[in-house]
Every structure is written in C-alpha cells, then in structure tokens.
Chain A
Amino acid sequence: MRPDTLFQRITDYANRADPYPLYAELRENGVTRQTDGGYLVGTYQEIAELLHDPRISSDIGNRTDPDEDILRRPDPPAFIGVDDPEHDRLRRITMRPFGPPHSPGRIDALRADITRITDDLIGSFRDKDRIDVVDDFAYPLPVTVICRLLGVPFEDVPLIRAWTNAIIASFDFAPEKDDRDHQERLRAGMEARIAMAEYLGGLADTRRDRPTDDMLSALVNDAGPDGRLTREELKSTATLLLIAGHETTVNLIANGALTLLRLPQALRLLRDRPELMPNAVEELLRYEPPVHMLPQRTPLTDIEVAGVTIPKGARLILMLASGNRDPLRFKDPDHFDPTREDNQHFGFGSGVHNCFGAPLARVEAQIALSALVPHLAGLRPAEDPPPYRRSALLRGPRHLVIERA
C-alpha cells in the first residue's frame, strides 16, 4: 500500500479554514496508512466501534514509535492518556467533586454565575461597532468559569492564558521533526506545562485543611473509597482540567458565533425560538466541533478496521469531525440544522474517555450563545474566513472580529 499524504494535508495550516473536503476524501478512501506510519479513520461507524473497543489504548507508551517529546514530559499523564484500570481510578476520584453521584448539583449551581459573567461581558461591548468575539467574549467566559470552579484566583488569569497558549501551540503536528520553530514551540510548551502544574500543585497545598468551596480543595481534602490523588497526579489532573476546561469551550462559542453569522436563517430561527438552543449546541458540536481528532490512540493487538489490518502499536488517529459529517450516519451532514433530532455526534468523543467536562461545556455554550444571538443581527465578520489558530486538533478562530454590515 502506498502511503497516503492526507494527514499531512489535514494538518497543513493552509487547510485550517475548511478541512471538510479533505474529510470527505478520507471517508471515500477508507482506512489508509499515512507517510508517518499512522492510520486515519474518518467514517462514523468505524470511529464509534474503535471508541468503544477495549483493545484501543490511549497510553502513548503502547506505541511502537511514540512521539518522544511527549514521553519526555516530566509529569505523569492525566487520565486522558491512561488506560483502565488506572484511567478509571483517576477519573472516578476526579469526578467526585464534579458530578453525580457525589456532586450532582455542582454544574447546575454554576448557572447563575455563568449567566452573570455572560451579561457583564455583553454589557461591556454592547455599544461598540467592532468587537472581537474571541478576545471580548468566547475566551473570558470559560476561563473565568473554570478558574472559579477549580479555585484559581481571578488575578492569575493572564498567567493561565500565557501558559495555555504555549501548551496548545506545542500540540502542533510538524511534518519535519527538525523544524526549528517546532522544536522551539515544544520547548516552550514543556516549560509552560511544568510551570502550570507547579502553580496548581502549590495552590492545592494552600487549600489542604483550609478548604474553600472549589474542586482543588475537594481533591486535596476529601477521600472516597479510592483514596486521594497523589500530589503528582493532582498536578497533572488539575492541569488537564484547567486547559481542557476552557480551551475547547472558547472554540465552541467562537465557532458557534461564526456559524450563526454565516447562516442568517439559523440565526433568525434561534432568535424566534430560543428554546431550540440546547439542540442547536448539539448540532454545533456535530457541525463545527472544537476537537477535530483524537491523535494518540493505538491498538494493543493487531485489529481489523473496515478490511484494513492496523498493527499493534501503530498510531491510530480518529477523525471525529469527519465522522460527524458522514452521510452514511447523518442526513444532509453538511447542513447546519438546529432542529436535528437524531444527533449522536462525536463532539465529546464517546466511550470510557468521553469528555469529562461535557456537562459544563454544554451549559456554558447554551448560555453564551443564547445571550449572543439577539446582538448578532446586522453584524458580519470583518474577515471570512477569520484567521484560525495553528492547531488542527483544537480548531477555532484566533480572532473573530465582527462589525456592522
């Protein structure tokens, strides 16, 4: 089989604004080996099966050719990069202060806060003729919420932002390993990761025996049947929660605003029928998901996917955003339909690694976009497509400047 270059083209920044034709090509071609030795899967049925297959590992240590820069990370991987039973233990302990059965009301209790923060942000730009949806709205909302939830003081948000940007930039896939910019980004990302983990570890230490009403306090003070996280585990877990807890939601809100600006009919529908918003957010998670792929899986044994054998230890890339547009699964998949009923999308993945923060992301996006809808009429993006962020994995606009039409 001649290696395919599709993954290179998907990660090429030139295709960031519209990767969807490449995904159609991927679904057409089926599972193919890429020039870097990885395998891409982009059809719904196959992705769904692989997400639920216990023979698929999320632990990069099981790869025959792991990315060494990830292996060099000083901290233990958080649950996102670990398999059962360890994954299950870490996730269960972390879930205790976040959701049911032990903390069923945690997310719901944040609604009032989220609404107030949203209203404040909208109030601050209501009279402006030009705003950046990302910097003025989509970014400050989730970062404020996740900091409050974890117990990070608000004055440290600029610090968090700088670290997060460096870490996300290092997620880039560089075709040339010796690319100097890439090496520099990796180094900066690693430094930021160490600094953020140390910061969060120190913050958690101050909460030990002096709990405030936040998740870090709960994680250091409350022990369930599985005990507590070690300090190292807590550092990696808190880093994951902090980054994943806002980075993806920024993209979801910004992608949502852009989609509604492009589709006046959908915007009108949501203005007239605000009760459709929860459904519209699900459609958004299908149509323009914040996470486009899961790039770090690998089979623990040779497996067959759609007639192709993927060898044990090979890099397996699940193109979630492609599965979301699979016409074999979704009727009229390239159409954004806020009333779509049958919509089991991969916006939050699926299986044991299903997005931990999904309930929070849903509430944030619903409140944020509901508040934004009445203000979008008569506005248009200053540039379309807007400038995108580097990452092909966490895809969203870097800025989304909108102005009066």
Chain B
Amino acid sequence: MSGERRDGRIVIVGASLAGLRAAETLREEGFGGTLTLVGDEPRPPYDRPPLSKQVLLGRVRAQDVGLPGRRDVDARWRLGVAAVGLDPIGKQVLLADGERLPFDRLLIATGTRARPWPNPEEAALDGVMTLRTADDAARLAERLDAGPRRVLVIGAGFTGSEIASACRERGFEVTVAERGPSPLVGALGGALGALAATVQRAHGVDLRCGVTVTSLRGRDGRLIGAEFSDGSRIEADIAVVALGAVRNTEWLADAGLAAGPRGVACDAGCRAFNMYGIVTDDVFVAGDVARFPHPLFEYQILALEHWGNAVAQAEVAAHNMVSPGPCRRPHLTVPAFWSSQFGLNIKSVGVPTFSDQVVVAQGSLRERRLVAVYGYRGRVTAAVGVNRAKWLGYYQGLIETAAPFPPRPGAADPPASGVPVPSDVPSPQTLSHGPTVALTGHVPDRRLTLVRHD
C-alpha cells in the first residue's frame, strides 16, 4: 500500500459523531500524519439522541452526554470556531477567527442545525426555543424544571414527538401542531402516522394536525401564546420549534462543490462531487450533511439524518481517505434509526419513504406491537418495528435481497389482515417537520449556465 496516503495533513470539519468516528478510524487504519478537527461548538463531541429523551426527563444532565472515544486520535482540536470557507485550489479551510488550515485531504462532516422559526421577532421571544445542541437541551430542561403551564411543540417529526413525550411524562400540558395529517407521517407514512396520532392523544397530548402556527404572541418580550391557521389560539409559556434541520453547507458556497440546501453530494465511496458532477479525490463527506447514491434504492441520492449512518459513513470515508483506489469500499449500509416516545420503541430499517405500499407483517396496530413492511413496485424496501425491534434483522435481509413484496405469510404473531395498503408517504412540502430521509434525486441544486469566452 502506498505510504503517501498514510501521512500528510487531514482536516475534518465537524466535530460531532461522524467527525469523531472518522478521526478514530483514520488512526485505526494507520494514518500517521497530522489530524485537525474543527467544530463550531466549544464542547468535545457528544451524543445527541439523549438530548430529546433522558435530558428532558431530568435523568441525565445535558453536559453529561459526551461521546466515549474508541481510541486516542492524537489530533489538534479547533473547537468553538466555525469553518467559514474552503479554498479548493489552495487546499485550505478558512476559519472564523482568520486561521487558514492547509490540508491534503478534507472530510466535510458539518451536519445540520435546527431550522429556526421563520419570523425573527417571534423567534427572539423568551420561551421560543429549538432543540439540536447540548446547550439547547440544557436551556429547555431548565425551563421544564421551572414547571411550564403549557408547552407548544411546532412540528411532529421524531424530535417534536419525543419532546412532547418527555413533557407528558413529566406531567406538563402539551400542544403539538403539525401541518401534515399526523405525527411521524413524513418518515413512516400514513398507517403508522395514524397510530402515532392515536398514541399521542391517548397520552393526553393536545394534537392538532393539518394546521400551521400563524403567529407566536409575546408580551414584554416573553412568549404568552400562539395562533393557528384554523383561527384557534392557545396560551403557552414555551414553544419548541421542531421544524426539521438545515444542512450546514453555507460555508461551502464558493468552494465549487455540489453543495447546497440538500447537502453535499458524493459518490458511494464518500468522495464529494464538484459543481460539474465530477468526483473530487481529496474532499470526502460523511454524516447528516452528505447525500449519496444507494444501490438498494435504485441509486436514489439519499440524505439520512441517522445516528447509525453517521458512524458507518464516517468509517467508510476515513477508510477511503487512506486507501488507494482498488482498496476503497462503498457505503452500502442499510439505513436504520430508532426512537422512543410515549412508551413505544420504534425502529426502522431501510427507507420507509421509498415505498408505495405497506403491510402489517406481524402483530397489530391496536396492540401497539407490530412490524410494518414497506414495498416499492413489488420489492421490500423497509420495515418498521413498534415494540418489536428484535425481528428487524430478518426484514433487513429481505431488503438487502430485494425480496418480493408483500412478504409471504407464516411469521409468528400473524396480523389479523395481511392486506397491503397505500403507504401514504406525503410530499415533504406538506409537512411541518422535515423528513429524516430525503430522497433528493439526481437533480442538481444549481443550474449551470454555459459561458463562452470568445
């Protein structure tokens, strides 16, 4: 193996899960050069899943969710300073404090941030918050400790629903406003969305679907309530804006990469494309900010906001950064995510939104214990377990082998009806929350204009 790939300078922009795991993998695979990690947050890498669960329940403090390291990474950490630009010719990352970091190879793992409330004046009201970072979680947990009279959650995706769940578990009144027809519908489709709506209402959530929040009302700079598109109003002292995520790609605006609001496009080996669709060989991408073609899903370009994807993709990217061409690996991991809310353990494998039909393969919606299997044009593309995660390995096998849909009956705990129904995956435009898997297609983010210089 060529020695040159094992040394030199590697810069990783983004010091969260993907950045840390990539750094560890680089060292694991024998990278002996200099390694720099850049992160805009001042904290060392931490784990985000507990922020909307254990932290809000008061079981874990927001500062105690640091990610355990797998090994020493022997890196220079530039924390608390954002990357603001990339010079692809001079091969330098420009930091907010003016420092220029030269690199031989670069990994982009800048992830996403919470989509803010669109009205800046309302967003600035005391009591209006988002939840993405540990600081966000600490602030929200502190507000909850003070005992709010009512919490408004705007957007019923996974984050919004988990926040609502934690609030109900602590006994607070909660209103959830969702523009789509039900919670979680953007990720799981109509049938499980309807189940989520039933469960939320059974847990005492004031769930309002098909409405938008038209204004957040304040007095003396403090939030006092909200108005909805159906003309109704509520009083609330906290509003959590859970409208999905925005990809952190602005710093790449002039880098000439295929980077935009939907992420940074890369090939199956995590190498970034430039704006002409030509693959680079020194710029790699991993984690929430990446969008990549997946062969199991007809080479659709996927953007996944999943914990497991961040880890798996970072490992592949790191491996490929220090390996010559023939030794490189594709990132083919079957997407998977989980959530816990309202006493339910929800786990998904595959891409439920890449579907036209869904069938309950085991268990029952009424019992809140089931495996739903999703199909697209007669092939199994996803499975979601509700309190049934342990069976998903089998269904992952069906996804990997593009097995026929619907799966043949014969599984334990058979459903009352094994008839597939439309999966009712809505267009992202109708949702309050962004989908956690975006099927972003082959369409470039910017149209190119051919300029002739005569």
Residues of chain A whose beta carbon lies under 8 Å from any beta carbon of chain B: 49, 52-55, 57, 83-85, 88, 225, 299-301, 303, 312, 351-352
Contact = CB atoms under 8 A, between A and B. Distances in A.
Given A84-B363, A85-B413, A351-B393, 15 more contacts: A49-B394, A49-B397, A53-B394, A54-B391, A54-B412, A55-B411, A55-B412, A84-B362, A85-B367, A88-B369, A299-B410, A300-B410, A300-B411, A300-B412, A301-B409
B373 to A, nearest CB: 11
A312 B408 CA distance: 14
B3 interface: no
B409 A52 contact: no
A52 B394 CA distance: 6
A94 to B, nearest CB: 16
Interface in B337-372: 343, 361-363, 367, 369, 371
Contacts of B363: 84-85
A57 B390 contact: no
A49 B401 CA distance: 13
Contacts of B409: 301
22 contacts: A49-B397, A52-B393, A54-B362, A54-B411, A54-B413, A55-B411, A57-B412, A83-B413, A84-B362, A84-B388, A84-B391, A85-B367, A85-B369, A85-B413, A88-B388, A225-B343, A299-B410, A300-B411, A301-B408, A301-B409, A312-B410, A352-B390
Contacts of A49: 394, 397
Interface of B: 343, 361-363, 367, 369, 371, 388, 390-391, 393-394, 397, 408-413
Contacts of B411: 54-55, 300
Contacts of B397: 49, 52
Nearest to B411: A54
A351 B362 CA distance: 16
B274 to A, nearest CB: 38
B445 to A, nearest CB: 40
Contacts of B410: 55, 299-301, 303, 312
A54 B369 contact: no
Contacts of A84: 362-363, 388, 391, 412-413
Nearest to B389: A352
Nearest to B408: A301
Contacts of A57: 412
A314 to B, nearest CB: 14
A83 B412 contact: yes
Nearest to A56: B412
A307 to B, nearest CB: 15
Contacts of A85: 363, 367, 369, 413
A55 B409 CA distance: 8
Contacts of B394: 49, 52-54
A49 B367 CA distance: 27
Contacts of A300: 410-412
Nearest to B370: A85
Contacts of B391: 52, 54, 84, 352
Nearest to B409: A301
Contacts of B408: 301
Contacts of B371: 54
Contacts of A299: 410
Ranked 10 nearest A-B pairs via Cβ = A301-B410, A54-B411, A52-B393, A83-B412, A84-B413, A55-B410, A352-B390, A52-B394, A85-B413, A84-B412
